[in-house]
Structure 1
Amino acid sequence: MLALLFQTLGITAPVFSMLFIGVLLRRVGWIDQGFIQTASALVFNATMPVMLFLGIYHSDLHRAASPAVLTFFCLATLGGFLLAWGWALWRVPREERGVYVQGAFRGNNGIVGLALATSLYGEHGLALGSVLAALVILCYNTLATVVLAIYSPVLKSDPLSIARQVLLNPLILGVLAAFPFAWWGIRLPAWVLTSGDYFAQMTLPLALVCIGGTLSLPALRSSGSLALSASLMKMVWLPALCTAAAWLCGFRGAELGVLFLYFASPTAAASYVMARAAQGNAELAASIIVITTLAAALTTNIGLFILQWGGWI
């Protein structure tokens, strides 16, 4: 069991160490808010779309794009969203509900979840994780926009506005652009792939350092019980319920492992930007990001340890 614990730590430690390096670099002044904003924009608009494109391009899409996995993930995401919203209707003040619900269900799967899936399962994890990332982007952005718009005086929640925001997302465009190449086996020149690989390799280190640089302990101390409640929902209750449901549905091996990692990812840093744009409680959003990111180093290891100990992944 001790050997299994060290094996689990070996999977997650490289990812979370980059987060804490980002905290350190911000603390000593080697990166600042300007760098984080510029680098985050580069990741979102360029390097991550290329990484997702190449992940799908190099994959056996007929094997990675499992309809059962994709359907289950969509249903589980919608179920988790409705559960978090239902709890917020009962226990959370109205003006805080949009930020609370977004923080409680929206995981950082495009960065942390995908990095862990790749670390655990290599090329197959990257392929399956990249396909799931398309659904992550679609589901999370749509649902977050809806719930924030309902409780915001500035965002529009009509279907046309939501559809426009989703369809113009660079990550979705990168994923959709790759499907014809992977599905029909269209080959690109070797030099294009090599250049793309160099460019895409910047994505995870740069993104993880930026997330670490955004963490704010003062916001954590002033967050109160709402941030803790949303964080427990995100890191404990929803991953446990969704992973148990996946196990009951018969998922095993890499499929169950990647599903767990996506369910158990910390709250996406983009939730802070969206909360601020919606004129919501941005400090609450930041606190949820801090708590879930720090908690993920523990909860993800515990979850992987249990799943490996049971022989299910």
Structure 2
Amino acid sequence: MSLFELFTRTLDITLPVFAMVFVGLGLKRLGWIDRAFVSTASALVFKATLPTLIFLSLIKADLAVALDVPMLVFFALATLCQCALSWGWASWRVKREERGVYVQGSFRGNCGVVGLALAAGMYGNYGLSAGSILLGVVIVTYNVLSVVVLAMYQPGQATDWRSLLGKMFTNPLIISVLAALPFTALSISLPGWLVTSGDYFASLTLPLALICIGATLSLRSLRESQQVAMGASVMKMVILPVLSTVAAWLVGFSGRELGLLFLFFASPTAAASFVMVKAIGGNVALAANIIAITTLMASVTVTVGIFTLRLLGWI
């Protein structure tokens, strides 16, 4: 396969995902969708369509193939190391009041939407099934680490730990993973009509979520981005994915497992990071800038990353 053909195949995976993001940006600028639509649609995705997609993906999955315990453990450990590395850098280079936002923006990826969409585009049913199981680890590790790092740098705020932990363990995505496991483990099947209806509903998830991401992007925020936001974005989209993916390869991951890990490592900063910063009264402008910059960077960095890994023969 020539380099051009390899690059074209890579674009076939990444362009459909990021095209939908830019469609959302265009629709917002045309005035065809507004903030109320984005708020309602985002809530629908988070509370209903994405949990349905994850549930159906898992009950259809072959756990012998999709449940890769070493990969789950490696991702959790890699995330912990990413948080520690960005935290160490922030302690040296970032003002104290901005450290919590910087660190969260540096390691917390949008795996539930962008990562899962890329995994589905690249690996089909395996990407959805294995990605959905991996998402359970993602949700727990990201939320726990985010609560800790944000609370550390908000000394003037009374952090409601019970509320934050309660929201974490009542997360619809976690519930959908737990609800699906008995069906998968015991090979319990659902009526055909119910699965088909669920598939119709779940199919709304990825295009709707990606459009909402695009609609929330602010080009003005990008132009006004601070040095801290750009630093966190480079850390999130370049430094940490490269280090984590190379580490995964060195310990023995390859093929679709390494590809799935890369896609999750290389996902742009999650919109949920903005919500958590706002909840504790942090620097929401900085959080928004990091989300905007990383989302725009992802269309380039993810494409280059997949192309490079394929060129090297790692995936």
Give 1:112 deviation, angstroms: 0.3
Distance 2:260 2:158 in 1: 33
Distance 1:241 1:295 in 2: 18
Q: Do the aligned partners of 1:113 and 1:262 also contact (CA within 8 Å) in 2?
A: yes
Give 1:62 deviation, angstroms: 2.2
Q: Which amino acid aligns with 1:219?
A: S
Q: Is 1:89 matched with 2:100?
A: no
Q: Which amino acid aligns with 2:90?
A: A
Give 1:129 deviation, angstroms: 0.6
| 1:128-277 correspondence runs (5 A) | 128-152=130-154, 153-154=156-157, 156=159, 158=161, 160-277=162-279
Distance 1:146 1:162 in 2: 10
Equivalent position of 1:104 in the other structure: 106
Q: Do the aligned partners of 2:159 and 2:280 also contact (CA within 8 Å) in 1?
A: no
Distance 2:313 2:119 in 1: 17
Give 1:166 deviation, angstroms: 1.7
Q: Do the aligned partners of 1:11 and 1:119 also contact (CA within 8 Å) in 2?
A: yes
**Alpha-carbon displacement from aligned partner over 1:129-166 (angstroms, at most 9, x marks no partner):** 111111111111111122112223445264x5543222
Aligned partner (choices 292, 298, 301) of residue 299 of structure 1? 301
**Alpha-carbon displacement from aligned partner over 1:70-108 (angstroms, at most 9, x marks no partner):** 010000001001111111111111111111111110000
Q: Do the aligned partners of 2:113 and 2:210 also contact (CA within 8 Å) in 1?
A: yes
Q: Is 1:4 matched with 2:10?
A: no
Distance 2:63 2:8 in 1: 32
Equivalent position of 2:69 in the other structure: 67
Q: Which amino acid aligns with 1:156?
A: T
**Alpha-carbon displacement from aligned partner over 1:217-252 (angstroms, at most 9, x marks no partner):** 111222211011000000000000000000001101
Q: Do the aligned partners of 1:100 and 1:230 also contact (CA within 8 Å) in 2?
A: yes
Equivalent position of 2:116 in the other structure: 114
Equivalent position of 1:290 in the other structure: 292
Q: Do the aligned partners of 1:146 and 1:157 also contact (CA within 8 Å) in 2?
A: no
Distance 1:91 1:63 in 2: 43
Distance 1:140 1:75 in 2: 12
Give 1:170 deviation, angstroms: 0.7
The root-mean-square deviation of aligned C-alpha atoms, in Å, is 1.1
SS in 2 for 1:31: coil
Q: Quick check: 209-218 or 161-170, which moved more? A: 161-170
Distance 1:200 1:273 in 2: 24
Equivalent position of 2:127 in the other structure: 125
Distance 1:155 1:15 in 2: 39
Distance 1:162 1:40 in 2: 20
Q: Which amino acid aligns with 2:43?
A: A
Equivalent position of 1:25 in the other structure: 27
SS in 2 for 1:90: helix
SS in 2 for 1:246: helix
Q: Which amino acid aligns with 1:64?
A: A
Give 1:302 deviation, angstroms: 0.8
Distance 1:242 1:162 in 2: 28
Distance 2:232 2:147 in 1: 18
SS in 2 for 1:26: helix
Total equivalences in the alignment = 312
Aligned partner (choices 41, 45, 56) of residue 54 of structure 1? 56
Distance 1:162 1:32 in 2: 29
Identity %: 57
Aligned partner (choices 14, 20, 45) of residue 16 of structure 2? 14
Q: Which amino acid aligns with 1:184?
A: L
Give 1:186 deviation, angstroms: 0.7
Aligned partner (choices 38, 41, 54) of residue 39 of structure 1? 41
| Structure 2 unmatched ranges of 5 or more | none
